[in-house]
Amino acid sequence: MAELHEECGVFGVYVPQRQNLGSLTYYGLFALQHRGQESCGIVVNDDGLFTVHKDLGLLTDVFDREELDKFPQGTISVGHVRYGTTGGTNRANTQPIVINHMKGKMALAHNGNLSNALALRTKLELGGALFHGTSDTEIIAYIVAQQRLKTPSIEQAVSNAMDFLEGAYSVVLMSAAKLIALRDPNGFRPLCMGKLPDGGIVFASESCALAAVGARFARDVEPGEIITVDETGIRSDRSHCGTRSRTMCIFEYIYFARPDSVLDGVGVHEARKRAGRILAKRHPVEADLVVGVPDSGLDAALGYSEESGIPFGQGFLKNRYVGRTFISPGQDNRVDLVRQKLSPIVSEVRGKRIVLIDDSIVRGTTSGQIVGLLREAGAKEIHMRISAPPFRNPCYYGTDIDSREHLIACRHSVPEIARIIGTDTLGYLPMEDLKELIGCSDYCDACFSGNYPTEIPESFEKDHFEAPLSRRKPKGERK
Ligand code: SF4
């Protein structure tokens, strides 16, 4: 149960005949809700007329049947769920972003983070650009609109814009007549394409959203690829493919993505089980029960159990109703949030030696509380195993992995962390075994290794665009 937030989820659909795309997009986004819970939005395009509804909150907060019925029928739609990693949580930063430019209209939804956002935006603002919000997505929209003035088509404008962008961006973009999906040349964030039974085309951050709307998985959008769909068919521009090495975020497999998704040909559930199997080999221990911390520790716990022969058990019940709107206990230390989310099943764990599997330890606070719950429930021994290496570096590509001063592994050795969180033993997935999870070495592991696949920004505060230009000084690398 990582103390981390996912980034965002995007969804786009093109159909040959007008139909109720508001609902279809809603259901696609619903399957991606785990990727962002701060805000959400849908834009439906009916022959160039864009109808937008977006707001802060979960899909169930922002949309009801009445709201969905207000969308007209259409042929193209894009949608977004957001957790903001650049720009604050406010209505101006909700997506999709809709802009009117000299050559028409555009709606755009983005997952990722531009690592050169500060330099780009400062340059644009010094040239007179105005921005409504403070997210880096507006920068992408602005540059595409600028390039559209010089190019014969929106897809050519997108291709030109990609020359300026650094970092992570999986984007769905809609003009009056076209749906375009693009993925950065590193391929940090996932993006896939599916086909609807009526010939419609769907793009989504994860394949689980294709299944949710009855679409058949067709293929992944390749890193650097631009796919355009319009009434003439589907076209792929691969001119940016292969310009960078592929560096898909390995933490998508460990924690962010849904276990039933397949990303770049690798099943998330299978990758997590492999992590569990590796942990069983690298950090064996005599125990009575393997318990996974719900939800993202469960698959790795199964793998550990299968490899070690130690039975798998349901050690915790997760309260499914603790969501974004739950009133957090905050400073009231008599009740903690973890206690509201997780409840140990006493009959399963009492008197037993437990192998406890989780996906990560960030600050250590949550892990300590989970271990405390098991101790209270009567566990005799607790041996914690983590299905990722220790976090030692911040992420600049669309997640909120923290500055170094907050990462427990930056300040303490593994035995010290074990003592702090109260486990008998602690073992992490070794760095050298990460490649076994997905069967290749084409991934980003910078938050573990410090090897960043792009230049890292000189400043990376989530709210750095909230400050006026004169006070927006580079603050140096995050500590
Ligand atoms: S730094 Fe970590 S979380 Fe960020 S993209 Fe790389 S692997 Fe993923």
CA distance 185 to 6: 21
pLDDT at 323: 64
Q: What is the mean pLDDT of residues 138-148?
A: 96
pLDDT at 405: 84
Q: What is the mean pLDDT of residues 194-216?
A: 98
Q: What is the mean pLDDT of residues 39-61?
A: 96
> How far apart, in Å, do the first and last CA atoms of the chain sit?
24
pLDDT greater at residue 470 or residue 135: 135
| Residue partners of 226: CB distance under 8 A and separation at least 6 | 155, 158, 159, 162, 180, 181, 182, 236, 237, 240
Mutation pick for ligand 1 pocket among 249, 360, 443 (CB with most ligand atoms within 8 Å): 249
CB atoms within 10 A of CB 66: 7
Ordered DSSP codes for 50-106: EEEEEEES-HHHH--HHHHHTSPPEEEEEEEEE--SSS-SSGGG-SSEEEEETTEEE
Give the closest residue (by CA) to ligand 1 atom 4: 395
| pLDDT tens string 52-76 | 999 999 999 999 999 999 999 999 9
Please give the distance, rounded to the nearest whole angstrom, from the Cα atom of residue 190 to the centre of ligand 1: 12
CA distance 216 to 312: 33
Please give the distance, rounded to the nearest whole angstrom, from the Cα atom of residue 108 to the centre of ligand 1: 23
Does the beta carbon of 460 lie inside 6 Å of ligand 1?
no
pLDDT band, residue 282 (cuts 50/70/90): very high
> 345: number of CA atoms within 13 Å, CB side?
15
pLDDT at 378: 97
Contact 88, 466 (CB under 8 A): yes
| DSSP reduced 3-state for 237 | strand
CA distance 57 to 62: 6
pLDDT at 45: 98
What's the DSSP call for residue 255? I
Mean pLDDT of the residues in the chain = 91
pLDDT at 473: 46
CA distance 290 to 47: 55
pLDDT at 321: 78
pLDDT at 478: 34
Please give the distance, rounded to the nearest whole angstrom, from the Cα atom of residue 445 to the centre of ligand 1: 6
Does the beta carbon of 109 lie inside 6 Å of ligand 1?
no
| pLDDT tens string 290-349 | 999 998 899 999 999 999 999 999 999 998 777 655 565 555 555 678 888 899 999 999
Mutation pick for ligand 1 pocket among 115, 397, 400, 477 (CB with most ligand atoms within 8 Å): 397
Does the beta carbon of 251 lie inside 6 Å of ligand 1?
yes
pLDDT at 336: 75
Please say if the pLDDT value at position 479 is more than 50: no
Q: What is the mean pLDDT of residues 259-271?
A: 97
Q: What is the mean pLDDT of residues 389-418?
A: 91
Please give the distance, rounded to the nearest whole angstrom, from the Cα atom of residue 239 to the centre of ligand 1: 25
Contact 278, 433 (CB under 8 A): yes
Residues of the chain with pLDDT > 70, as a percent, come to 90
pLDDT band, residue 223 (cuts 50/70/90): very high
Helices then strands, counting H and E runs in the chain, come out as 17, 23
Q: What is the mean pLDDT of residues 230-241?
A: 98
Closest CA to 476 of 460, 454, 452: 460
Give the closest residue (by CA) to ligand 1 atom 8: 249
Please give the distance, rounded to the nearest whole angstrom, from the Cα atom of residue 324 to the centre of ligand 1: 24
| pLDDT tens string 408-433 | 999 999 999 999 999 999 999 999 99
| pLDDT tens string 433-458 | 999 999 999 999 999 999 999 988 76
Q: Which two tokens stand for residue 253?
A: 């497999």
pLDDT at 474: 43
Mutation pick for ligand 1 pocket among 8, 248, 250, 451 (CB with most ligand atoms within 8 Å): 250
Angle at alpha carbon of residue 175, lines to 41 and 265, rounded to 5°: 70
Please say if the pLDDT value at position 144 is more than 50: yes
> 192: number of CA atoms within 13 Å, CB side?
24
| pLDDT tens string 153-173 | 999 999 999 999 999 999 999
Amino acid at 196: L
Amino acid at 43: V
Enumerate the active-site residues.
8
Handedness of CA 353, 359, 364, 369 (dihedral sign): negative
